[in-house]
Amino acid sequence: MTHSPSSARPGQRRQRQEQAQRQRRRRLLRVWLPAGILVIILVAYAIYQTTRPDLPGVVDLGAQLRGHDSAISYEGQSLPPAGGKHGFAWQNCGIYDTPIDTANAVHSLEHGAVWLAYNPDLPAPQVTALQDQIVGESYVLMSPYPGLQGRIVLTAWGKRLVLDGVDARRIKAFIDRYRGGGPEPGALCNGSVGSPVR
């Protein structure tokens, strides 16, 4: 049985349309499927970051005030603040062997830095061990803190860990976990005030 030209054309046209639709669907899948998977991964990671428990011993200090204040004073505080109003300039990240301006350090915390403060009475070998562990780390401040309650205190935005001595494993875990946790992560931690010794 032979088909007339007029009956073959609509069938071929339909076949071509179906083939074009299949190709469009494949192209859409190639673009949207990876994009959808990426969105799912990012959402899952964000949920994981916000719901996982803190490291043992870390105190969550909750939401912190923000804003610049040139007259802010932290006089008499025995622990470094973990957020709040702060100076207009941030403290350049690095290792200091003298106390730093608390208002500037808090600004660095806002940028996602971790502040390792130590009691000025900490024995020199322990200070050297801390410096050796911190040197080369980005977004980390280290300085003595007069009147510090405890020997070593690690602070990130809204987080605090008090240590009785040098504990390299816990210090590294705190830095790895909470660095970048400020409300302005990735903002500069250099090019402002302070001259680190290392």
- Region of 35 (left: φ > 0; alpha: ψ -120 to 50; beta: rest) is alpha
Percent of the chain with pLDDT over 90: 65
Band (50; pLDDT cuts 50, 70, 90): low
Distances (CA, A) of 7 to 10, 15, 43, 81: 6, 13, 53, 83
The pair of three-digit structure tokens given for residue 90, joined into one six-digit string:
């941030």
18-24 mean pLDDT:
84
What pLDDT score does 37 carry? 84
Q: Which of 9-23, 74-88, 94-108 has the lowest mean pLDDT?
A: 9-23
Rounded to two decimals, the pTM is 0.76
Summarize pLDDT for 164-183 with one digit per residue, the tens: 999 999 999 999 999 999 99
Most confident of 53-57, 59-63, 68-72: 59-63
